[in-house]
Amino acid sequence: MYKDIKDKKIIITGSATGIGKSVTARLCAFGAKVAALDINKEKGSETVFNAVEYGGDIKFFEIDVKDEISVKKNIEEATNWLGGIEVLIHIAGILEGADTEINNFPEDIWDKVIDVNLRGSFLVTKYVSKVMIKQNSGVIILTASGAGVHGGSSSYAYGSSKGGVHGLSLVLEQNLSKYNIRVNDVLPGSVKTPLKVKNVKDTHKNNDKLSVDQRIEELVSPDEISKVYAFLASDEASMIKGSIRTK
């Protein structure tokens, strides 16, 4: 499956936990050369260790996606190690401010979520695109959310930030196609990630425990969602345009 993934040079952000961890494991299993980026050094190192155990060609880079100096440094170092960038899969993000009404929403949480999710997507794409434009090829896969495109988010900041990521991907798609760069954004639904599990517990904390547990059990496995990213990273997805929704 996806034979062209073997030896493909891929940067994955948010690789320490959740969807990013599953995507990293899957692409390493397919034989990709992966630069795994995350702010969580401990969990990120675990992801790398596990991938190396089954033969993955992978290296970890500690990055703060909202900090331009950190992004510039780590993208450059990852590019040098990889020998170029064929695919960016940007998944890093946070979810805070759940179940807080707009009239009481803290400005510091708003700024933090926008900085990580939207500014982070911009900065990572900015420095990856410098490489891809120069080589006149590449694939950029951003991570938005159904909550940011169709509404229904438990957090004003999260929904707004992901709506911004979606808008960014649309503008990138329009403007980078002339450099043979394909841009997609994935809109994951309710996925069983640490962020989502905490969100369920926070927003349903006044319900009985069984109700919360049932909601968590209904969440989709990150391993299932990782299949979508793996397909988009492959040449078989060359005709796919725009956004991809998942459960």
Indicate which residues carry an active-site annotation: 158
Cα torsion angle, 24, 27, 31, 35, sign? negative
Pairing of strands 138-143, 33-38: unpaired
Cα separations (Å) of 143 from 38, 150, 157?
15, 15, 15
DSSP helix/strand/coil, 187 = strand
Asked if 245 and 228 count as a contact pair (C-beta separation under 8 A), the reply is no
- Continuous segment of H or E residues that includes residue 242: strand 242-245
Nearest alpha carbon to residue 195 among 111, 95, 76, 74 = 95
